[in-house]
């Protein structure tokens, strides 16, 4: 990870002088670096440190991710991200649109430095799918006809896609055989789904300081995620109608009450079970490959997510509102 940070720092110089400080601001986020970690772990050959090929791909997936965050924050009108001002607030929405574009472009400049076009192809196709997922999510904001299948499709595109590609490229560049690359990619896809559902759960049950945003932000912005779908199914008809009106923006959101109802309706255990199912599916994708060096490391990530999920579990009946 230190090598990745050095490499990312070095990339600043590649940007046009006028926008270096801004690119620096965006890259200098103390993010979780999950996608680079997936690259490194999937590409682990059992010895040594990651080679320059892996570091570069780790930087590429992180830059793509950072670009989508910059654009996300514009749309959400978010003021803070990881407890610092978003690019939108710092430079204005207009510059933030372009800055996201520049980050993404530079990711592709790096992708074009491999001997074949494979990295370019996978990264740009993946990016298009991520965008498609976010577009669907955006167009459905405040709309109540989102089925579980729709929710699944959205998170598969917007989150699981880049997790999948990170694992695929890590294993591929390390020279793993095609069958392992495919299974590592399946692992990444399921882990991405699990992670996004966990993240959606944290929006209602997390610790505000730790997740760096206000609880219930998704609900307030009309985003119908799994915890909300479960709550809607559990509520009596009258309450369901009221909540529907809140989601559609026709009446103010009763956040305190909704968070309390989430506790009463056992939303947490229901959604957490889904997260665990996806983690299990991720682990199952690697079941055939216990001997491959990345396998134990990737399974450890499953353990980390399990622990994070457990840390979210409300001590009392209700969420930490």
Query: In the complex, which residues of this chain contact a copy of itself (CB under 8 A)?
Result: 15-16, 18-19, 22, 67-68, 71, 74-75, 91-95, 97-102, 104-109, 111-118, 120-121, 123-125, 127-129, 131-136, 138-139, 153, 157
Interatomic CA distance for residues 229 and 227, integer angstroms: 5
Nearest to 188 by CA among 104, 286, 277: 286
Nearer to a copy of itself, 136 or 220 (CB): 136
Report in angstroms how near the CB of residue 141 gets to a copy of itself at its nearest: 8
Give Rg (Cα) of the chain.
20
Nearer to a copy of itself, 33 or 223 (CB): 223
Report in angstroms how near the CB of residue 225 gets to a copy of itself at its nearest: 17
Cβ atoms of 298 and 184 within 8 Å: the answer is yes
Nearer to a copy of itself, 49 or 105 (CB): 105
Nearer to a copy of itself, 137 or 261 (CB): 137
Termini Cα distance of the chain? 35
Report in angstroms how near the CB of residue 76 gets to a copy of itself at its nearest: 9
Nearer to a copy of itself, 159 or 261 (CB): 159
**Residues forming a β-bridge with 200:** none
Report in angstroms how near the CB of residue 227 gets to a copy of itself at its nearest: 22
**What is the torsional sign of CA 285, 287, 288, 289?**
positive
Report in angstroms how near the CB of residue 70 gets to a copy of itself at its nearest: 10
Nearer to a copy of itself, 25 or 289 (CB): 25
Alpha carbon dihedral 61, 63, 64, 67, in 10-degree steps, equals: 160
Q: Which residues contact 84 (CB under 8 A, 6 or more apart)?
A: 29
Report in angstroms how near the CB of residue 310 gets to a copy of itself at its nearest: 34
User: Which three-class secondary structure state does DSSP give residue 84?
Assistant: strand
Nearer to a copy of itself, 10 or 264 (CB): 10
Report in angstroms how near the CB of residue 264 gets to a copy of itself at its nearest: 33
Classify strands 80-81 and 84-85 as parallel, antiparallel or unpaired: antiparallel
Number of DSSP helices (H) and strands (E) in the chain, helices first: 17, 2
């Amino acid at each position: 990870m230190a090598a990745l940070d050095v490499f990312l720092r070095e990339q600043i110089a590649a940007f046009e002088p006028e926008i270096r400080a801004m690119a620096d601001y965006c890259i200098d986020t103390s993010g979780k670096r999950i996608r680079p970690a997936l690259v490194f772990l999937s590409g682990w050959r059992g010895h040594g440190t990651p080679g320059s090929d892996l570091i570069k791909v780790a930087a590429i997936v992180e830059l793509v991710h950072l670009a989508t965050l910059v654009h996300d924050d514009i749309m959400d009108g978010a003021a803070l991200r990881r407890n610092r001002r978003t690019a939108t607030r710092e430079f204005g929405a207009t510059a933030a649109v372009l800055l996201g574009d520049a980050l993404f472009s530079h990711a592709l400049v790096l992708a074009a430095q491999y001997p074949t076009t494979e990295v370019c192809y996978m990264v740009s196709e993946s990016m298009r799918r991520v965008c498609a997922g976010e577009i669907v999510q955006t167009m459905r904001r405040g709309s109540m006809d989102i089925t579980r299948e729709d929710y699944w499709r959205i998170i598969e595109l917007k989150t699981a896609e880049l997790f999948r590609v990170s694992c695929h490229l890590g294993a591929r560049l390390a020279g793993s055989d095609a069958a392992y690359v495919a299974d590592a990619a399946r692992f990444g896809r399921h882990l991405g789904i699990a992670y996004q559902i966990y993240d959606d759960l944290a929006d209602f049950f997390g610790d505000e300081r730790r997740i760096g945003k206000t609880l219930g932000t998704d609900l307030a912005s009309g985003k119908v995620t799994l915890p909300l779908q479960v709550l809607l199914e559990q509520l009596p008809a009258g309450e369901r109608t009221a909540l529907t009106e809140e989601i559609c923006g026709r009446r103010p959101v009763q956040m305190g009450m909704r968070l309390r109802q989430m506790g009463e309706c056992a939303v947490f255990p229901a959604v957490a079970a889904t997260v665990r199912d996806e983690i299990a599916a991720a682990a199952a994708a690697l079941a055939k490959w216990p001997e491959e060096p990345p396998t134990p490391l990737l399974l450890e990530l499953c353990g980390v997510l399990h622990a994070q999920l457990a840390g979210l579990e409300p001590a009392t009946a209700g969420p930490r509102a």
